Structure 1
Amino acid sequence: MSDTILFDIDGTLVDTNYHHAVAWFRAFRRFDVTVPVWRIHRAIGMGGDRLVAAVAGDDVEDRCGDGVRDAWKQEFDPMLHEVRLFDGARDALAAAKDRGWRVVLASSGAREHIEHYVKLLEFEALGGDRWISGDDASGTKPDPELLEVALDGYDGRAVMVGDSVWDCEAAERISLPCVALRTGGTGAGELLSAGAVQVHETLPALREAYDGLPFAPVSPS
């Protein structure tokens, strides 16, 4: 049996949360809907199937939800080349592998976006074990299905690393400890209230705390 560390990607390993917020803002404006960017930012990490109603209401979802989601992708795709890794992202993954842990990545993002981030991270060269995208699960955060798929077949112990309240809530629903980072732009108090068991400012700070990560038992599905 091995320990597994499960990383969220957007806002945790790659600096994309504010790109996503701007892309959603522009997508809404195509339909003459104005949502404050701060409100959109607070929903980043939630699945896109939930976000429109969450920030703009059920009426907007019913009227143009699918159109807004299509427009978000059209707005975000040109920004993809601007995306950069957070400082220490590769080192955090490499240090986990050096400890003999399985390293798994899970994001509810579009598969083509996740493939791009996996290449940026040099995930295969680092010995990463598995990565999944939103195409691999029907439920989106805070639904825990994506996490369950990511851990499917693994035994031993596991811990999750994320950046949003939605990561924390999804992990808590399956009794998976979630260690949160401030890199997504959410305050420590809010992350702790959402269920985070630890909060760290950066990936280098997380790596320095690897000895104290709160792994918990998981059972293979």
Structure 2
Amino acid sequence: MADSPGTAVLFDIDGTLVDSNFQHVDAWTRAFDAVGERVDAWRIHRLIGMDGSMLLEELLGTSESDAAQQAKAFQTAYFAEHLDRLHLLPGARELLGALSDRGHAVVLATSAPENELAVLRGLLDIEGALWAVTGGDDVEAAKPDPGIVQNALAQAGVDADHAVMVGDAMWDVRAAGRAGVRCIGVRSGGVSDSELTDAGAIAVYDDPADLLAHLDDSPLADLRP
């Protein structure tokens, strides 16, 4: 790999670059129904982006029971039904390209497992702009554990002071904060400004297109080696 450019922008994918959060909610809702566990959709939505085992602990009280394990398998199957209907959020591909053109290492840092990540990368279709990719299968625990963010920093060859994360959920913001990385929030995952800023987000934009339109006066404008 070539020498690091000295700065990095780390991106969550689900809800940040791809409109997929509510498809995840649907898959989890159906999965819980399938195992006889009624969980309100709004409670599921608040946890989208969190490590799957942690989500099950929060909603069922355990991730180890037969019902929890069956729900996880059903969720994978139900979400697969949505894969060919996912689409990029406005400005996603253009934002990644613009940041790469400005000399930043662009790293995808997602909790998605490898099979979903492959589909999401295909949607983005901008491999030439990516410095590295790290997903849920690369760490023992996904967000809000900082492991994915720390792995992304290591792959980019930069320290936390020279990186910014972009994400749509409190779990992105908290994972970044635990790794010492500043985080920009986007509303496209359906999370409120106040929840994102309370978690530590330094700025909030509607979606990738909004961040791209304000790139020169965003926190990313100050990102230098």
What TM-score do you get using the length of structure 2 for normalisation? 0.91
Q: Deviations over 1:85-110 (max 9, x none)?
A: 00111011011011111100011111
Which of the numbers 35, 40, 55 marks the counterpart of 1:51?
Answer: 55
Aligned equivalents of 2:7, 2:224: Cα separation in 1: 9
**Which segment drifts farther, 147-156 or 48-57?**
147-156
Which of the numbers 197, 201, 208 marks the counterpart of 1:203?
Answer: 208
Aligned equivalents of 1:10, 1:99: Cα separation in 2: 24
- Matched residue SS, 1:43: coil
8 Å Cα contact 2:60/2:68 also seen in 1? no
8 Å Cα contact 2:6/2:224 also seen in 1? no
8 Å Cα contact 1:7/1:162 also seen in 2? yes
- Partner in structure 2 of residue 11 of structure 1: 15
Aligned equivalents of 1:77, 1:95: Cα separation in 2: 31
Which of the numbers 114, 120, 141 marks the counterpart of 1:117?
Answer: 120
8 Å Cα contact 1:176/1:216 also seen in 2? no
- Partner in structure 2 of residue 130 of structure 1: 132
Identity across aligned pairs (percent)? 38
Q: How far off is 1:57 after superposition?
A: 2.4
What TM-score do you get using the length of structure 1 for normalisation? 0.92
Which of the numbers 178, 181, 186 marks the counterpart of 1:181?
Answer: 186
8 Å Cα contact 1:177/1:197 also seen in 2? yes
Aligned equivalents of 1:83, 1:63: Cα separation in 2: 30
Q: Which amino acid aligns with 1:142?
A: P
Aligned equivalents of 1:61, 1:201: Cα separation in 2: 37
Instruction: List runs of 5+ in structure 2 lacking aligned partners.
Output: none
Q: Do residues 213 (structure 1) and 219 (structure 2) align?
A: yes
Aligned equivalents of 1:91, 1:149: Cα separation in 2: 25
Q: How far off is 1:83 after superposition?
A: 0.4
8 Å Cα contact 2:8/2:105 also seen in 1? yes
Q: How far off is 1:116 after superposition?
A: 1.0
Q: How far off is 1:216 after superposition?
A: 7.0
Aligned equivalents of 1:116, 1:63: Cα separation in 2: 29
8 Å Cα contact 1:43/1:55 also seen in 2? no
Q: Which amino acid aligns with 2:147?
A: E
Which of the numbers 152, 155, 170 marks the counterpart of 1:165?
Answer: 170
Instruction: List runs of 5+ in structure 1 lacking aligned partners.
Output: none
Number of equivalenced pairs = 216
Distance 1:51 1:217, change over 3 A: farther
8 Å Cα contact 2:168/2:188 also seen in 1? yes
Distance 1:16 1:9, change over 3 A: same
Q: How far off is 1:210 after superposition?
A: 2.4
Aligned equivalents of 1:70, 1:110: Cα separation in 2: 13
- Partner in structure 2 of residue 83 of structure 1: 86
8 Å Cα contact 1:25/1:35 also seen in 2? yes
Which of the numbers 23, 26, 29 marks the counterpart of 2:33?
Answer: 29
- Partner in structure 2 of residue 62 of structure 1: 65
